[in-house]
């Protein structure tokens, strides 16, 4: 048995609140504990997802949240893996539970993000690919999003109108989510009228940076049953894979592909996987571990940093073939009420990025959907969900939850 139970899920609303990330994490943790019906003193371990923006490494740690909740002796672990931080925190908590080290583990991530695009931490670091892409290319994240959008237009014939429809879909879902930052439906005309950020993407095609927090209380199946929860939402698989050589489609901040494993035995393994892009390999690994496939899904939460990237995720998680994302969207299949809703939460289009929290927030949404507790945005009969995103620097992130 590799399942662990989701006993509780909680979030601090996304927005720009001007307060410490610690406060957002504490609020989310208290909400998750209340949802689990568990006192803080009953938690044996805390896994915190952090970001260097919060402060120096010894401060931005699981212990930061343990201290905020009140010292009670819980063991701690800390994770920083860019946008995959939350998924790696979930993986660490799951491993502790399956190893018998803890019956109940609190997973917390929170961020107080700057206004505008993310930039690397200060100082000269010529071995840091994030620093290099700013110094050598001047490439902010929106520039990367724009390059991917242009590639889709050139390779598959996608249009700016296709991208706008993603925003319209996600904004409609976000309008139903009380935790979202942006709770207003938009039209394709409003997307087209918004300022150009990185051609062809406009302001409403690109997600914002936000403050927010999310938390989960995870436990063993036996612990859940002992507390009277006979049929909890379960995390069945977590994928945190890294890329393989050769990478034929590069992600910023990578500006070259590493051939270090291109000799000897590694060459055969690399050649065998060359046809599988990194994002697709993240999903493939989580499907294999969970024993499910795209055909089993009820819903998906994907990492819509830009509208064009959401279309790529449709293909990477196997909802359709390469280049078919815009067609799938156009049929209404990925909207609320469609065959397989994607970003029923409203996605990053409605929340914005609160980096250490967002993969955890995706699992919160899966939890509420699989419980049948998502209110007006509920996906009827939801039984299996996937949450996927990608952390820069080669961090995979995918979670499969089932009921």
pLDDT for the residue numbered 364: 98
How far is the C-alpha of 50 from the C-alpha of 359, rounded, in Å?
A: 12
How far is the C-alpha of 186 from the C-alpha of 184, rounded, in Å?
A: 6
pLDDT for the residue numbered 275: 67
pLDDT for the residue numbered 218: 98
Q: Name the residue with tokens 């991208």.
A: 163
- The angle subtended at Cα 175 by Cα 328 and Cα 112, nearest 5°, is 100
> Which residues lie closer than 8 Å to 67 by C-beta, 6 or more apart?
none
Tokens found for residue 87: 């998924």
pLDDT for the residue numbered 265: 46
Residues of the chain with pLDDT under 50: 265-267, 269-270
Q: What global pTM score does this model have?
A: 0.94
pLDDT for the residue numbered 57: 62
pLDDT for the residue numbered 121: 74
Q: Which is it for the CA torsion 191, 192, 196, 201, positive or negative? A: positive
pLDDT for the residue numbered 16: 95
pLDDT for the residue numbered 302: 98
Q: Which CATH superfamily is domain 4-117+209-226 in?
A: Thiolase/Chalcone synthase (3.40.47.10)
How far is the C-alpha of 152 from the C-alpha of 146, rounded, in Å?
A: 10
> Which residues lie closer than 8 Å to 165 by C-beta, 6 or more apart?
188, 307, 326, 329, 330
Grouping H, G, I as helix, E, B as strand and the rest as coil, residue 320 is coil
> What's the N-to-C CA distance of the chain in angstroms?
15
């Amino acid at each position: 048995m590799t399942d662990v139970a989701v006993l509780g899920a909680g979030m601090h609303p996304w927005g720009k609140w001007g307060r410490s990330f610690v406060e957002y994490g504490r609020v989310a943790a208290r909400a998750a504990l209340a949802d689990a019906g568990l006192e803080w003193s009953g938690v044996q371990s805390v896994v915190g997802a952090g970001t260097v923006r919060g402060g120096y490494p010894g401060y931005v740690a699981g212990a930061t949240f343990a201290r905020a909740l009140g010292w009670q002796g819980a063991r701690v672990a800390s994770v920083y893996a860019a946008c995959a931080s939350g998924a790696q925190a979930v993986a660490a908590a799951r491993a502790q539970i399956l190893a018998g080290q803890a019956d109940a583990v609190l997973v917390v991530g929170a961020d107080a993000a700057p206004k505008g695009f993310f930039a690397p931490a200060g100082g000269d670091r010529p071995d840091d690919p994030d620093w290099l892409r700013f110094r050598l290319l001047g490439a902010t994240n929106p520039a990367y999003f724009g390059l991917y959008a242009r590639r889709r237009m050139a390779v598959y014939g996608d249009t700016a109108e296709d991208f706008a429809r993603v925003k319209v879909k996600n904004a409609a879902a976000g309008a139903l989510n009380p935790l979202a930052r942006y709770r207003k439906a938009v039209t394709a005309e409003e997307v087209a009228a918004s300022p150009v950020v990185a051609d062809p993407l406009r302001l409403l095609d690109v997600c914002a940076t936000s403050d927010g927090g999310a938390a989960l209380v995870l436990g063993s199946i036996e612990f859940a049953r002992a507390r009277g929860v006979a049929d909890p939402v379960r995390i069945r698989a977590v994928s945190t894979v890294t890329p393989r050589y050769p990478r034929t489609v590069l992600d910023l901040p990578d500006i070259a592909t590493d051939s270090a494993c291109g000799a000897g035995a590694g060459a055969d393994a690399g050649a065998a996987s060359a046809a599988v892009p990194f994002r697709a390999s993240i999903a493939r690994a989580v499907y294999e571990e969970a024993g499910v496939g795209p055909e089993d899904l009820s819903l998906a939460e994907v990492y819509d940093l830009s509208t064009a990237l959401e279309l790529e995720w449709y293909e990477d998680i196997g909802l359709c073939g390469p280049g078919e994302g815009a067609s799938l969207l156009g049929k209404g299949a990925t909207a609320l009420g469609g065959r397989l809703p994607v970003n029923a939460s409203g996605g990053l289009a409605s929340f914005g990025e609160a980096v250490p929290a967002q993969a955890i927030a995706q699992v919160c949404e899966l939890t509420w959907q699989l419980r049948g507790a998502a209110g007006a945005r509920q996906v009827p009969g939801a039984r299996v969900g996937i949450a996927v995103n990608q952390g820069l620097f080669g961090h995979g992130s995918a979670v499969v939850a089932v009921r």
